[in-house]
Structure 1
């Protein structure tokens, strides 16, 4: 227990026989054994408390990690990483001054069945292909692409620009 060698234990026994009378020796050994038991009991209790604290600390960290995982929003994290100031998102919105498509009319009350689009890829469901065919006229290029310019006489004109909105 205390890493004593046999010679050290023998010296302790001889010193104990010299200083403790033989009549008091059993009482001293009982007191020593009670003291050793009490020390072992306290050490075991202390170790149990330390183990319990470690378990509680680990469980607290695990609970925090689970809470963080439940609150994790991948979409927001990716958007913040790619487009922190929102310029990329705004580039895909149609500019208010430039409207390439006519204003949308209200949908008819009873829509006629639409034919299947001819150019639809085979992996698209028919409902998605029909929706894309309806929305095709409202598509517009993102604002990060420069406008298509053509030469008209001596002036450069933006293709598809409304009347009066031209560049040289």
Structure 2
């Protein structure tokens, strides 16, 4: 951790006994242990706050991605991917054929109706 060897620890203990005294050394060790515990707790809290900020940032990115997917026109994207030249769309466009069919149906109904009208006029002309 701090790369302190046994000789350094022994030196610190000897100096602490001389400076603090053998009678007050246990109290000093307890207060040092409490301070170390508080520092560790602050480090843990700081780390959890950093982790929360990272999660919020990632969540914001995910929210932005979801919003972009919601606003995207997926049908258009699929159509561009599958049929980029529009050949399938043109092949499946039956609107012109339907218009031609309707026109031919109207023409055929007009031709069948015209003789009936002509027949009536012929009868009135003969009489």
Deviations 1:73-109 (A, max 9, x none): 3648x99xxxxxxxxxxxxxxxxxxxxxxxxxxxxxx
Normalising by structure 2, we get a TM-score of 0.58
Helix, strand or coil: the match of 2:22? Answer: coil
Unaligned runs of 5+ in 2: 81-90, 102-127
Match of 2:44 in 1: 44
| Partner of residue 117, structure 1 | none
Distance in 2 (alpha carbons) for counterparts of 1:60 and 1:3? 41
Q: Which has the higher helix share?
A: 2
* Structure 1: segments with no counterpart, 5+ residues: 80-123, 136-168
Deviation, 1:6, is 1.9
The aligned residue for residue 28 of structure 1 is 28
**1-side partners of 2:69 and 2:63: how far apart?**
10
Counterpart check, 1:131 vs 2:97: yes
For the pair shown, which has the larger CA radius of gyration, 1 or 2?
2
User: TM-score, structure 1 length as denominator?
Assistant: 0.45
CA RMSD of aligned residues (A): 3.3
How many residues in Structure 1 have an aligned counterpart in Structure 2? 89
State the alpha-carbon separation in 2 of the partners of residues 50 and 24 from structure 1.
39
